């Protein structure tokens, strides 16, 4: 399957393409690649640089964080399924991946490379603008969820939060010092 052969109905269900016209959806498909991964295969590796944005077309994957000193005990942060997206942070900011993404099942993904996005932005500003806006919305939703989790963890163990300096530092950085 090629991105160009994806039905418009499928493209319009992808949250990153929300608000796009049929022509803009097709422009996004034209700059994309369809890639396949087998269960257990790594799509993104924490610490490596890849400027791609990924959208799940079929299957599921898990986001894994390896903490310093605990490389043998990865933490699963999330699981993504149909039409979910990932890779936005490194796509928009040229920095290494903050986590590893591994296929849980066989997967088919829509891949958008940053170079192709930049070329599209020069020609078709509307589609590129809408994709960026939808990616910001996705990141904001994840940040909102993370804030809820941090608040619940802090509330569940207030004595622990005061005793462990990392909790105070995390809270301070999340809510006061956005320049990490």
Q: Is the pLDDT of residue 177 over 70?
A: no
Asked if residue 61 lies in contact with residue 104, where contact means CB atoms within 8 angstroms, the answer is: yes
Q: Which fold has domain 3-175?
A: Jelly Rolls (2.60.120)
Helix (H) / strand (E) element for 165: namely helix 165-175
pLDDT at 100: 95
pLDDT in tens, 114-137: 999 999 999 878 888 898 888 888
Q: Is it the case that residue 180 has pLDDT exceeding 50?
A: no
Cβ atoms of 11 and 80 closer than 8 Å: no
Pair 63, 86: CB distance under 8 Å:
yes
Nearest to 110 by CA among 85, 77, 144: 85
**Apex CA 161: angle with CA 159 and CA 162, to 5°?**
65
What are the residue ranges spanned by the domains of the chain? 3-175
- The sign one gets for the Cα dihedral 176, 94, 81, 43 is negative
Each residue's pLDDT tens digit, 21-77: 999 999 999 999 999 999 999 999 999 999 999 999 999 999 999 887 667 788 888
Is the model's pLDDT at 103 over the cut of 50?
yes
* pLDDT surpassing 50 at residue 1: yes
State residue 83 phi and psi, 5-degree precision. 70, 5
Kindly report the pTM of this predicted structure.
0.79
The helix or strand, by DSSP H or E, that contains position 143, with its residue range, turns out to be helix 125-156
Report residue 143's pLDDT band, with 50, 70 and 90 as the boundaries.
confident
Average pLDDT for 86-101: 92
Query: What distance separates the 2 farthest-apart alpha carbons in the chain?
Result: 57
Hey, which bits of the chain come out as E strands?
Answer: 32-37, 42-44, 52-58, 61-65, 75-80, 85-86, 100-103, 107-113
């Amino acid at each position: 399957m090629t991105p160009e052969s994806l039905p418009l109905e499928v493209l319009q269900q992808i949250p990153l393409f929300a608000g796009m016209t049929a022509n803009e959806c097709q422009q996004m498909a034209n700059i994309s690649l369809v890639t396949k991964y087998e269960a257990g295969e790594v799509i993104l590796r924490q610490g490596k640089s890849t400027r791609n944005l990924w959208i799940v077309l079929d299957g599921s994957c898990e986001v894994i964080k390896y903490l310093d000193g605990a490389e043998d005990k990865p933490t699963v942060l999330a699981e993504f399924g149909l039409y979910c997206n990932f890779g936005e942070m490194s796509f928009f900011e040229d920095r290494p991946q903050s986590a590893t993404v591994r296929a849980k099942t066989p997967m088919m993904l829509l891949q958008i490379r940053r170079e192709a996005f930049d070329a599209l932005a020069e020609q078709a500003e509307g589609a590129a603008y809408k994709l960026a806006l939808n990616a910001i919305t996705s990141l904001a939703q994840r940040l909102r969820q993370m804030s809820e989790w941090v608040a619940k963890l802090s509330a569940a163990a207030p004595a622990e939060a005061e005793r462990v300096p990392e909790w105070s530092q995390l809270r301070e950085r999340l809510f006061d010092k956005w320049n990490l």
